[in-house]
Amino acid sequence: MKPAIQSEVNKGLNRYVVFVYILTIVLIFLSKYISPSFGSFAQIKAILVLSSLTVLVALGQGLVILTGELDLSVGKIITLSGVLTSMWLGNGDENWLMAIPIFAILLLVGFLNGYGVAALKIPSFIMTLAMSMIIYGCILGYTKGTPDGMSPRLLEKLMASNWFGLPSPIYVLIVVAIAGYFLQSRTKLGRTMQVIGSNRTAAHYAAIPVKRTIIFAYMISAICAGLTGMILVGYSGGSTLNLGDAYLLPSIATVVLGGAAISGGSGNYLGTVGAAIFLTTVSTIIQALGISIGWQNVIYGLMILVVLILYRKDIYQMLQHQLRGWSTKKQEAA
């Protein structure tokens, strides 16, 4: 992509990111009319705590999407990490050396995902979906359907601690947001991923290590999902067989809603962070209204579509063109 065009794309993306944050602030302010407790400092802290998990798993997912691929195995990787954490680290003696094989397994899963996509040319949708099924089968076989163990005491204390009046997960969110932004936007690795997502053929002829970079993106995604699983165990006091299922679709939605192109090549991690906070706020409001789970999913999906239609120029222009065509046909018929 030419520098002038890239500059215009970045400007548009930055404006979109600012809009996401403004929309989130407005939504939090308007939520006061739904419940007096909404919009309070305590409520904002609760939203940020819940957002921290999505922000972490979306960091890895965003890097994979930046290369033009998808990782549908993050939900099961979260579950795998949570099960191993509770069974190997929360068994009473809390031997934290056992964290080494856990991270080794996570890296292996990420490597296999990346190798299958980059080297074996298996579509990412199929590769990562198959990997999630393999992971789930291994979890079922290893646990016999009932994960043992509990949350490690150290992890539980860290997740329940408060520093300077703020829960520790908020500091996790801040650190991950800063690290993710610099990794995606200010490092050679992040720029390489953008080039690969924009034009993989051109990246190959430019001697960019395409396969290695894609594999590395999947390995980072596996580590981010694994850390999310550990944090979830610290919250819940144990693990379940569906621990990470609720984070698959939000990990993709926050990346796309945050301004990234689903086809790869462009994205802004600060936009992903803002989108995670926005969607968490929406989810909190919907739950407070007592809406059933089915309708919650409908509203959740419609919110994403509306925002994308209004603020993604390609979709908006397409709808405008279709409406003008419909209006012209109606006038001719009259």
- In the numeric block, the tokens 């995902």 are attached to 113
DSSP state of 166: E
Q: In the prediction, which pLDDT does 42 show? A: 85
* Coil, strand or helix at 240: coil
Per-residue exposure over 280-297, b if at least 16 CB sit within 10 Å of its own CB, e if not: bbbbbbbeeeeeeeeeee
Does residue 238 contact residue 149 with C-beta atoms inside 8 Å? yes
Structure letter (DSSP) for residue 88? I
- Whether the Cβ atoms of residue 244 and residue 147 lie closer than 8 Å to each other: no
> What is the pLDDT, as a whole number, of residue 311?
56
Selection from 10, 116, 98, 65 nearest residue 253 by Cα: 65
Give the whole-angstrom CA distance, residue 88 versus residue 317.
Answer: 53
Write the CB contacts of 249 (distance below 8 Å, at least 6 apart in sequence): none
The vertex-34 CA angle with 30 and 35, nearest 5°, equals 110
Give the pairing type, strands 166-167 and 162-163.
antiparallel
The 8-class DSSP code of residue 327 comes to H
pTM, rounded to two decimals: 0.88
Backbone dihedral angles phi then psi of residue 217, each to the nearest 5 degrees = -60, -45
Would you state the pLDDT for residue 291?
A: 77
User: Per-residue pLDDT for the chain (334 aa), expressed as one digit of tens each?
Assistant: 544 445 545 555 678 788 889 988 898 888 887 777 777 888 889 899 999 999 999 999 999 999 999 999 999 999 999 999 999 988 666 778 889 999 999 999 999 999 999 999 999 999 999 999 999 999 999 998 888 878 888 888 888 888 888 999 999 999 999 999 999 989 999 999 999 999 998 998 999 999 999 999 999 999 999 999 999 998 888 889 999 998 998 899 899 888 888 888 888 899 999 999 998 988 888 887 777 767 777 776 777 677 666 655 555 566 566 667 776 766 666 6
Task: Identify the CA nearest to 23 among candidates 259, 295, 191, 195.
Answer: 259
